[in-house]
């Protein structure tokens, strides 16, 4: 493996490019017309245009991404997360082209993507699943029988669903008929597969997931858990490791269950096994994500393992290293997702140009970002701008660091989730670690009514003034067109020919 096509954009593309360079590999970026000037394009050794802005015609288009791999002479493709990362068809097409897919086999992706198949394998491997059906239910009468047996409320879940898509809660038998019709027709429309199955609906669980790693020579290990309950409409906002609510015994049992889950599909690469956790310590398999995840850095910080580098090494056929196999957890890490969503306006996505950016730094602070001053934030892609991740010896130290880092962060040009994070980091329930998947729904509005402190208002006004000053100065200078990606790519190629790079 020498040259990796990074089939993604934004912060994860940059993250993967950095890991490639750490491993002495060349990284080739792909970009849509909307990303011609994006940081990941400049960070790569070369870049290939794959189409217009809409993802369906660029980052989601298997043929165009494959063509870029061929054109650039890449011998591996890293899919990142989202887009084609969990497409079995894509993994298959990459391998069929004689290129290494940095991820699990197409079969493993397929098995975990079909939720009833995943539940069957879990049951066979002694991984606890939520009471319900293993096969899809044939009709509403069968659903009613099962529901009467396990008790209401139940969830109807799409077999081809996941991540909250195609899920419907049913409170009583009165609602079953209409819910079943709606669930099946929605599933058919969204996934081209109308099959649904039944699960008992658990009351206010926590969402805890286990990071697993498996090489191609038979080692499967886990690197502990991440607590991901702070979410809104299935979009995670904050993650931390370790989980505040997990005792050592439950943690060990959950880790072992996750390893069995991975082994049940002959998993290779890094992956995540999601569980729902109840207050009594009972946990249940939810689904397995067969990709690197957005929140992987919290695990990296507490285990001191580079998970993306591990992905590359595993894909190249190397066994898990000694240090990784023996890695032990140390301290506490928290991640805040900085998105271009306005918490004071129902988290609606905002658009604009990043005019001013002051990035947090210093001890225990990590900033994984896909933006720079001048970045145009539109509506074509996911609103994730950056991830702010902190480490501390204890949870209390990590919390203090996150508050300090959020104070240092200034973004002018688009509304962001930053103020929401500041409020959560000061909230008593969060500070106590007492929260579940309903935290934002229950606590969010009250939090957002907290008046801003004068000091914070002063920072915002000063930053806006600085941004305007910089804009005026830039207009007076009229700089040459150095940001142009075509120009940049040509320059990089010339530099490489001269052995500069
Ligand atoms: C559940 C559940 C309660 N009981 N299943 C939502 C996303 C999808 N992956 C599964 N989800 C859930 N499944 C049973 N049997 C509650 C959720 C759920 C959830 C899970 C994880 C993280 C956030 C969530 C938010 C709402 C509902």
d(CA 184, CA 201): 18
Check whether 492 has a pLDDT greater than 80. Answer: no
Check whether 53 has a pLDDT greater than 50. Answer: yes
Nearest residue (by CA) to ligand 1, atom 12, is 164
Residue 372: is it exposed, middle or buried by C-beta count within 10 angstroms (0-12/13-18/19+)?
middle
CB 370 within 8 A of CB 14: yes
CA of 157 to the centre of ligand 1 (A): 10
Name the token pair of 479. Answer: 């700089």
Residue indicated by tokens 């200034």 = 410
d(CA 127, CA 259): 10
CA of 338 to the centre of ligand 1 (A): 23
Q: Where are the alpha helices (DSSP H) in 84-130?
A: 88-96, 106-113, 115-124
pLDDT at site 456 = 80
- Model confidence at 495, pLDDT cuts 50, 70, 90, reads very low
CB 47 within 8 A of CB 28: yes
CB 334 within 8 A of CB 352: no
Name the token pair of 321. Answer: 């290293």
CA of 441 to the centre of ligand 1 (A): 14
- Atom of ligand 1 minimally distant from the CA of 200: 15
d(CA 350, CA 337): 15
Nearest residue (by CA) to ligand 1, atom 7, is 164
Check whether 265 has a pLDDT greater than 80. Answer: yes
Per-residue pLDDT tens for 144-176?
A: 999 999 999 999 999 998 777 779 999 999 999
CA of 342 to the centre of ligand 1 (A): 24
Residues with a catalytic annotation lie at 291
Q: Please state the domain extents for the chain.
A: 3-102, 131-200, 206-448
Q: Which fold has domain 131-200?
A: Dna Ligase; domain 1 (3.30.1490)
Site to probe by mutation for ligand 1, drawn from 128, 286, 295 as the one with most ligand atoms within 8 Å of Cβ, is 286
pLDDT at site 404 = 98
Q: What separation in angstroms does the CA of 47 have from each of 126, 372, 489?
A: 46, 18, 6
- Atom of ligand 1 minimally distant from the CA of 162: 9
495 SS3 class: helix
Mean pLDDT of 43-69: 98
Nearest to 104 by CA among 267, 261, 258: 267
CA of 170 to the centre of ligand 1 (A): 14
Nearest residue (by CA) to ligand 1, atom 21, is 207
DSSP state of 8: -
Nearest residue (by CA) to ligand 1, atom 17, is 164
pLDDT at site 483 = 54
Q: What separation in angstroms does the CA of 302 have from each of 234, 247, 296, 395, 494?
A: 25, 17, 11, 11, 41
Q: CB within 6 Å of ligand 1 — which residues? A: 130, 155, 162-164, 167, 199-202, 205, 207, 231, 234, 276, 286-287, 437
- Model confidence at 480, pLDDT cuts 50, 70, 90, reads low
Mean pLDDT of 310-338: 98
DSSP code per residue over 409-478: -EEESS--SHHHHHHHHT-HHHHHT---TTHHHHHHHHHHTSPPPHHHHHHHHHHHHHHHHHHHHHHHH-
d(CA 472, CA 76): 44
CB 109 within 8 A of CB 343: no
pTM: 0.93
- Atom of ligand 1 minimally distant from the CA of 228: 22
Domains 131-200 and 206-448 share a fold: no
Site to probe by mutation for ligand 1, drawn from 167, 168, 293, 442 as the one with most ligand atoms within 8 Å of Cβ, is 167
Mean pLDDT of 237-248: 96
Nearest to 36 by CA among 25, 47, 27: 47
Query: Which class in CATH covers the domain with range 3-102?
Result: alpha beta
CB 332 within 8 A of CB 392: yes
Per-residue pLDDT tens for 421-446?
A: 999 999 999 999 999 999 999 999 99
- Model confidence at 501, pLDDT cuts 50, 70, 90, reads very low
Q: Where are the alpha helices (DSSP H) in 125-247?
A: 140-150, 176-191
CA of 191 to the centre of ligand 1 (A): 19
Q: Which fold has domain 206-448?
A: D-amino Acid Aminotransferase; Chain A, domain 1 (3.30.470)
Percent of the chain clearing pLDDT 90 (strictly above): 88
Site to probe by mutation for ligand 1, drawn from 155, 162, 209, 289 as the one with most ligand atoms within 8 Å of Cβ, is 155
311 SS3 class: helix
């Amino acid at each position: 493996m020498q040259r990796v096509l990074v089939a993604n954009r934004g912060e994860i593309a940059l993250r993967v490019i950095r890991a490639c360079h750490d491993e002495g590999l060349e990284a080739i970026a792909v970009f849509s017309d909307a990303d011609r000037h994006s940081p990941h394009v400049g960070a790569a050794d070369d870049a290939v245009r794959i189409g217009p802005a809409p993802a369906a015609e660029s980052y989601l288009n298997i043929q165009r991404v494959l063509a870029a791999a061929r054109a650039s002479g890449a011998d591996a493709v890293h899919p990142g997360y989202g887009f084609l990362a969990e497409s079995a068809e894509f993994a298959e097409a990459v391998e069929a082209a004689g290129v290494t897919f940095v991820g699990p086999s197409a079969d493993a992706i397929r098995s975990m993507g079909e939720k009833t198949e995943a539940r069957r394998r879990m049951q066979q491997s002694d991984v606890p699943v939520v009471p319900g059906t293993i096969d899809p239910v044939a009709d509403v009468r069968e659903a009613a029988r099962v529901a009467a047996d396990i008790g209401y409320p139940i969830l109807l879940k799409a077999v081809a669903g996941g991540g909250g898509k195609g899920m419907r809660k049913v409170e009583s038998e009165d609602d079953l008929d209409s819910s079943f019709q709606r669930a099946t027709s929605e599933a058919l429309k969204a996934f081209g597969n109308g099959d649904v199955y039944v699960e008992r609906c658990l009351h206010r669980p926590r969402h805890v997931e286990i990071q697993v790693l498996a090489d191609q020579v038979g080692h499967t290990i886990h690197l502990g858990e991440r607590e991901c309950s702070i979410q809104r409409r299935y979009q995670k906002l904050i993650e931390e490791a370790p989980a505040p609510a997990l005792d050592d015994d439950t943690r060990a049992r959950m880790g072992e269950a996750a390893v069995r889950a991975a082994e049940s599909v002959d998993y290779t690469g890094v992956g995540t096994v999601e569980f729902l956790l109840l207050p009594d310590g009972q946990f249940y398999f939810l689904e397995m994500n067969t990709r690197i995840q957005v929140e992987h850095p919290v695990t990296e910080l507490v285990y001191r393992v580079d998970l993306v580098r591990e992905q590359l090494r595993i894909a190249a056929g190397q066994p898990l290293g000694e240090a990784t196999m023996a890695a032990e957890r140390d301290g506490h890490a928290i991640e805040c997702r900085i998105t271009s969503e306005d918490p004071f306006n129902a988290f609606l996505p905002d658009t604009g140009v990043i005019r001013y950016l002051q990035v947090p730094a210093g001890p225990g602070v990590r900033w994984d970002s896909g933006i720079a001053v001048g970045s145009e934030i539109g509506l074509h892609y996911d609103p994730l701008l950056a991830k702010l991740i902190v480490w501390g010896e204890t949870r209390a130290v990590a919390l203090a660091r996150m508050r300090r880092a959020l104070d240092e962060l200034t973004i002018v040009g688009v509304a962001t989730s930053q103020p929401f994070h500041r409020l959560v980091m000061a909230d008593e329930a969060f500070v106590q670690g007492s929260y579940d998947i309903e935290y934002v729904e229950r606590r969010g509005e009250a939090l957002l009514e907290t008046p801003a402190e004068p000091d914070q208002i002063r920072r915002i006004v000063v930053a806006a003034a600085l941004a305007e000053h910089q804009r005026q100065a830039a207009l007076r200078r009229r700089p040459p067109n150095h940001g142009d990606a075509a120009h940049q790519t040509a320059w990089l190629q010339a530099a490489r020919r001269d052995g500069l790079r």
